[in-house]
Amino acid sequence: MHQQPVLLVVAHGSRDPRHAATVHALIRRVRAMRPGLRVETGFLDFNVPSVQGVLESLAGRGVRNVVALPLLLTRAFHAKSDIPSVLREAPSRLRIRQADVLGPSPLLTRTLERRLYEAGLSPADKSSTGVVLASAGSSDPEAIAVIAEIAREWRHTGWCAVRPAFASASLPRTGDAVRELRSLGCAKVAVAPYVLAPGFLPDRIARGAAEARADVLADVLGPAPEVARLLLERYDAARLPLRAALGA
């Protein structure tokens, strides 16, 4: 009987202390949802412990099997390059499987709506409200296409309109998307940050929303229960092939 793999959540890291605090709050919720699961957190940059440090510690404590889960919303550079590179440097005794990134997922769309309603919208506002789906941005075309597709699909759930926006690397910016939705005749315009934790780029999204006078600015996705559930879904999807390979 093999022990279930350790879940290693791989976060980007930030100089902004709110980032790590939000990540740790999310991990506490994941642990509460599945008390028997060992969950560790490692950061790629700025914060400790590092991913490499956690992997070495796990190997030193006799752990064999790890699911490394990128705390990322799209498959951009970090998921395709940075994280695989770090995992390749792990101690050889570890068997590591990289889970899929979190997005896209209906659970994330549900979290976006949760945050909008918490910020003051009501379901009755939906048909008259335009939403800016504000992402951090990426130079990766695949990631940009995913954000655009999420916006298109979300529009079909009853919003007046949904437009993607990006805090870096791509256009349009949040303020321009707010103004576009106003010009389309939406009675209200809300900004929904499609980011997991506070930091430099989420602050830029908030400034864009304020400058363009958006009616509502939602909070980041953060430690919402839907996000915690999604982490466990991605973990389960990754660990099942690992268990089969081990004959568990």
pLDDT digits (tens, 9 = 90+) for 28-45: 999 999 999 999 999 999
How high is the pLDDT of residue 3? 82
pTM of the predicted model as reported, rounded to 2 decimal places: 0.94
Are 108 and 230 in contact by the 8 Å Cβ rule? The answer is yes
Average pLDDT of the chain is 95
**Same topology for domains 6-102+224-246 and 120-217, yes or no?**
yes
Given a cut of 50, is residue 1 above it in pLDDT?
no
pLDDT mean over 203-210? 98
Find all residues with CB under 8 Å of 149, minimum gap 6, and list them: 104
CB atoms within 10 A of CB 215: 19
Can you tell me the distance from the alpha carbon of 217 to that of 89, in angstroms, rounded to the nearest whole number? 41
CATH 3.20.20.330 correct for 120-217: no
Confidence bin at 248 (pLDDT 50/70/90): very low
Q: Which CATH number fits domain 6-102+224-246: 3.40.50.1400, 3.40.190.10, 3.30.1330.10, 3.30.70.270?
A: 3.40.50.1400
Given a cut of 50, is residue 56 above it in pLDDT?
yes
Of 135, 72, 126, residue with least CA distance to 99: 72
Given a cut of 90, is residue 244 above it in pLDDT?
no
How do the domains of the chain map onto residue ranges?
6-102+224-246, 120-217
How high is the pLDDT of residue 76? 78
